[in-house]
Amino acid sequence: MRLPLAVIACLCLVTAGCGGPPAGSGGPSTVNPALAETPTASPTPEHGSTAAGDDTVSVRTLAETHARALENRSMTVTVASRTTYENGTVRADSVQRSVAAGDEQLYRLVTTETPYRRVNALTFNVSYWRNDTVSVERQEYQNGSAVVTVVDGGCPVGRPPEFDPTGARALAEVLGEYAIEEDRVVVAGGEPLRRIVESDAGQPNRPFRSNVRVEALVTTEGVVRSASVTYRTTRFRAPATVRTTVTVTAIGNTSVPRPEWVNETLAGDR
């Protein structure tokens, strides 16, 4: 990866502002779909609106179609990224999770770096809860303390910017660096899903990567259920494997909890 995972997590997989469109490109990621059963192959589908020509898929169109298909629906989006050395040591581990329904969203980012730890903090841990009128952000520190900030208007400021509730921007960042194409249709839990893979894993613009594997599973309406990128790299002083996944779950069945720290903060802010 071009930047440490903690930086990618904090800067790349967030929106450019509240309600903006998905980004057109970005950094790598990996998907490990949580499916009810092992997918089985079925005949290649006709090309949908994401096809840019033949089997080639436009990442921008894929993300935009995904965002439109999830308009006015609730969902849970999880972005996980891990870099692991060959001896099993985890260099960096990051998990972002957003649960969103209507005007409400609860987001949390937890990033741990080893052995290159942040000054005075092993883990970067930040959360926010928001609706259409207010945003409450909480940053936790290794010593157990926390700083809570209240922002009127429902759009968080500072760190981190608002995470796109549909996950479209995360998908664009994860897949945007790769040339992808439709592979075939697989069936999981009785649902046909279009499988999308990288068309050229040996692209010369990524000299530090090998064994690249890219996969996305897309519903017939254009929702990307999962997307992933896995590759081997020598960029981090020693050979390591980087894996990033984006999963979209509980579509239409997500409710947004309101943490007690939000209630306490808002009650004390009056």
215-265 pLDDT, tens per residue? Answer: 999 999 999 999 999 999 988 878 999 999 999 999 999 999 999 999 999
Identify residue 220 by its one-letter amino acid code. Answer: T
Six-digit token pair at 145? Answer: 């303390």
The mean pLDDT value of the chain amounts to 78
Report the chain's terminal Cα–Cα distance, integer Å.
45
pLDDT at position 134 over 60? yes
* SS3 call for 219: coil
At residue 203 the predicted structure's pLDDT band, cuts being 50, 70 and 90, is low
The Cα-based distances of 174 to 152, 167, 246, 251 in angstroms read 31, 10, 8, 21
Q: How many helices (H) and strands (E) does the chain have?
A: 4, 14
What pLDDT does 65 receive?
98
Q: What is the mean pLDDT of residues 114-120?
A: 56
At residue 20 the predicted structure's pLDDT band, cuts being 50, 70 and 90, is very low
Instruction: List the alpha helices (DSSP H) in 13-93.
Output: 59-69
Identify residue 7 by its one-letter amino acid code. Answer: V
**pLDDT: which is higher, 137 or 118:** 137
Share of the chain above pLDDT 70, in %: 70
pLDDT at position 21 over 50? no
Contacts of 117 (CB under 8 A, 6+ apart): none
What pLDDT does 213 receive?
93
pTM of the model: 0.78
Six-digit token pair at 115? Answer: 């052995």
114-123 exposure pattern, b = at least 16 Cβ within 10 A, e = fewer: eeeeeeebee
In order of start, what are the domains of the chain with their CATH numbers? 23-269 (2.50.20)
DSSP state of 31: -
Identify residue 249 by its one-letter amino acid code. Answer: T
Cis amide bond preceding 160, omega within 30: yes
What pLDDT does 171 receive?
97
Q: How many CB atoms neighbour CB 219 within 10 A?
A: 16
Six-digit token pair at 263? Answer: 């209630």
